[in-house]
Amino acid sequence: MSAPEAEVQEGVAGQLRLAGPLTAVTAPSFRSRVCEAVRDGQVHMVIDLRAVTALDAAGIAALLEARRVLEAQRRGTLVLRANAVVCRALKDTGTIAAFALWTGPGI
Amino acid sequence: MRVYLRTFTPADLEQLSAWVDDPFLERMVGSELLQSYKHVWDKSPAFFEAMLTDPTQVVLVIEAYRGWTTPVGVVRLFNIHLLEGYCFLETIIADPRAMKRGFGVEAGKLISYYGVDVLGLRRIEAKVYEYNVLSMNSLRRNGFRQEGVLRQAGFDGERYWDLVIFGILKEEIEAQRKKDKVYLPLDPPEGNGREPS
């Protein structure tokens, strides 16, 4: 693992950028950041995972939880920007279809 | 609790290497994890990275408190289906001295809590060879229920055996958890200490 914890970088409003592994160790802080954002009134979120270096079952569970929390809001949406590592993990777990993925240029 | 679970480290491969060659474990558990390490990965160190980055499983090492200096086994959740909320459980107590001490029961319980709390699972399944009474009893002690039998689904090299299917739901895991005795720092002493006057 290249980094001890996933670094949550501030982006534009409603956007989270993660770097490093999103795993059992780092997923709890990611969950709380999402909950915080929703409490602050965010209903549309883009989570940029292009700098994520590893994604395990706990990390994917956290992403599913983020989707659930956002979609529980009126008109809530979650979009993921993924790299090959993330796509592979989502495919392997059969969860890729559960997410809206953005693979084009910047949003 | 007499055991705790920790993540796998590269140093554990040496232990794993000995366990995969144990014919008793092979017969009792028939673990795909152990078989894969031996036959697919040929005991390569690369197995560690592959296992750790596999998002469909969580593999943890079982360590026992009080005088145990080496790991006593491995417990894992595998074939994790996060969307559907179910997975399979496998508990391997590999050290013969550690058997029949309830370590497997506790390890299975801890990883089930992890599955429910962290992974959001709502159902856990386990398969046991019909002759592995020890494992069946461990599962029952954790609240698993026998749900069916796969007739002659297992082969031990000589003959076919039935596989017994066990399952537990999230609510049943929570009911088991309520039976756990939790010792908090502020709890009164358990008899060895002086009672508050």
ipTM: 0.82
Q: How much is the average pLDDT of B89-102?
A: 90
Element containing residue A38 per DSSP (H, E): helix A27-39
Mean pLDDT of B164-182: 91
Q: Could you give the percent of chain A with pLDDT greater than 70?
A: 84
Bridge-partner residues for A22, per DSSP? Answer: A55
Confidence of residue A27 (pLDDT cuts 50, 70, 90): very high
Q: Which residue of B has its CA nearest to A65?
A: B120
Using an 8 Å CB-CB cutoff, list chain A residues near B80: 57, 93
Model confidence, pTM: 0.86
Q: What is the pLDDT of residue B183?
A: 58
**Would the CB atoms of B53 and A98 count as touching at under 8 Å?**
no
Q: Which residues on A lie below 8 Å from B83 (Cβ)?
A: 64, 94-95, 98
Nearest Cβ partner of A56 from B55, B83, B120? B55
- Distance to chain A for B50, nearest Cα, Å: 11
What is the arithmetic mean of pLDDT over B69-74?
93
Instruction: Report whether pLDDT(A101) > 60.
Output: yes
Q: How far apart are CA B100 and CA A31, in angstroms?
A: 39
Q: Per-residue pLDDT tens for A28-70?
A: 999 999 999 888 888 889 999 999 999 999 999 999 999 999 9
List, for residues B24-59, the tens digit of each pLDDT value.
888 888 888 988 898 899 899 999 999 988 999 999
By C-alpha distance, the chain A residue nearest B53 is: A56
Strands (E), B15-135: 58-64, 73-81, 86-93, 123-129
| Model pLDDT, residue B54 | 94
Name beta bridge partners: A78. Answer: A45
Distance of CA B90 to the CA centre of its chain: 5
Above pLDDT 90, what percent of chain A?
63
Residue A27 with chain B: CB contacts under 8 Å:
118
C-alpha dist (Å) from residue B39 to B11, B43, B93, B151, B169: 20, 8, 21, 26, 34
A58 interface with B at CB cutoff 8 Å? yes
* Mean pLDDT, residues B8-22: 91
- CA A23, distance to chain mean position in Å, is 11
- Best CA proximity match to A76, nearest among A34, A107, A104: A34
- Mutation target for A interface from B87, B118, B124: give the one with most A CBs within 10 A: B118
Has residue A12 got a pLDDT over 70?
no
Q: Is the pLDDT of residue B9 over 70?
A: yes
- Write down all domains in chain B, each with its CATH number in brackets: 3-179 (3.40.630.30)
Domain covering A7-101: architecture? 2-Layer Sandwich (3.30)
For residue B77, the chain A residues in CB contact (below 8 A) are 57
B34 phi and psi angles, rounded to 5 deg: -65, -40
What pLDDT sits at residue B186?
Answer: 57
From A2-11, B35-44, B51-60, B108-117, the region with the lowest mean pLDDT: A2-11
Q: What is the pLDDT of residue A8?
A: 57
Instruction: Give the per-residue pLDDT at A3.
Output: 40
Altogether, the residues listed in chain B come to a count of 197
